[in-house]
Amino acid sequence: MSRRLGALMLAVALVGIAACGSSTTASRDALRALAVKATTTTVAPSPPTTAPACANPEASLRPGPLPAPGALPAGSFMSAIRQRGRLIVGVDQNTLLFGYLNPASGHIEGFDIDMLRQVAKAIFGDDGQNQETHLQFVAISAAQRIPFVQSGQVDIVADTMTINCAREVVVSFSSVYFKAGQRILVRDNSDIKSSADLGGKRTCAAAGSTSISNVVDVSKTHAQSPAIPVQVTDWTDCLVALQSGTIDAVSTDDTILAGLKAQDPHTKLVGDKFTDEPYGMAINLSHPEFVRFVNGVLERVRADGTWTAIWNRWLGPGTAPAPPAASYRD
């Protein structure tokens, strides 16, 4: 398949996405997103983020016993969500395997989505309704994750989101539910082999992600000149830019790159992981009881084999490692 055909197929898939799910909020947002012309801009390296001291960003709030869906504490955020009848979730719709609007089914699906399903199940139980009716998807970009949690437009975000000290000042995180790491995706004829070769190369990542500043940091240490960061809205914008030759590399989490590679066989993943990206679900700072509740759900999901089943479903049957261990600060 030629690269141009690859790009065309992606474009066709995107049109399919637009056509298939017109009844959901997610697909309305998909249509809105498609209406916005993807712009590829070269940005100056961002200044180093002065993250506040935080000994262990992965340490979250310890869960108590998980209440039954019908016995959620009165006045709690979980109880309010149950009364509303819907858990409003911020998700990606462009990341194959993690949060992806499947053009064939019209449903958003992936590892992150299945994690959110577990939270919805703990709030609503098996009340005879399809769990899908209790989830309201809001498709957001990487840069929208924090503002949407802060403003209360979504109850929770599960979107390949790295837990770090800087973000913990503005949102709360659940315990870790996935451990990713940053790598590099290039065209299959590229001679870039690792982050050491990114000096002077146009390297694409989504705005609002940790990925661009990681690229600049690592290329500074290995190469004579830093990488040239190119910022886009969504990860699939990076793939189209790679296919059209306007960038040299995409660099982000191995999870996201695996999905992009699956969408274009004329690409290859190179180099080792050069960062740790522990994923957590983000929740508004004003709902610590909901953080503890979600952590209780994650405890159950790790212990009863659900986490392993979700891994095997999305990332390859029989390939699941042990679930990442939770750590707590209280």
* Interacting residues with ligand GLU (CB under 6 A): 142, 159-162, 206, 209-211, 252-253, 256, 277
* Type and span of the H or E element at 4: helix 3-20
Spell out the residues 6+ positions from residue 294 whose beta carbon is closer than 8 angstroms to its own. 119, 156, 174, 281, 283
For residues 258 and 97, the answer to whether their CB atoms sit within 8 Å is yes
The strand pairing partners of 56, in sequence order, are none
Q: Which residue is nearest to ligand GLU (CB)?
A: 209
Query: Tell me, what amino acid is at 271?
Result: G
Q: Scan for tokens 């913990």, then name that residue.
A: 168
In whole angstroms, how close is the CB of 164 to ligand GLU at the nearest point?
Answer: 8
Spatial separation of the C-alpha atoms in residues 243 and 245, rounded to whole Å: 6
CB 185 to ligand GLU: min, Å: 13
Q: How far is 14 from 34, CA to CA, in rounded Å?
A: 8
| In the complex, minimum distance from the CB of residue 206 to ligand GLU, in angstroms, rounded to a whole number | 5
By beta-carbon proximity to ligand GLU, the closer residue of 118 and 162 is: 162
The minimum distance between CB 101 and ligand GLU, in angstroms, equals 15
Nearer to ligand GLU, 174 or 211 (CB): 211
Quote the least distance from Cβ 278 to ligand GLU, whole Å. Answer: 9
| Alpha carbons 180 and 182: distance in angstroms, whole number | 7
Sequential DSSP letters for 121-140: HHHH-S-SS-GGGGEEEEE-
Residue 161 C-beta: closest distance to ligand GLU, Å = 4
Q: In what order do the strands lie in the sheet with 172-173?
A: 135-139, 87-91, 156-157, 282-283, 172-173
What are the tokens at 267?
Answer: 């690409």
| Chain centre to alpha carbon of residue 302 | 19
Short-list 24, 44, 156, 25, CA closest to 90:
156
> Cβ of residue 75: shortest distance to ligand GLU, in angstroms?
32
The residue (of 81 and 157) whose beta carbon lies closer to ligand GLU is: 157
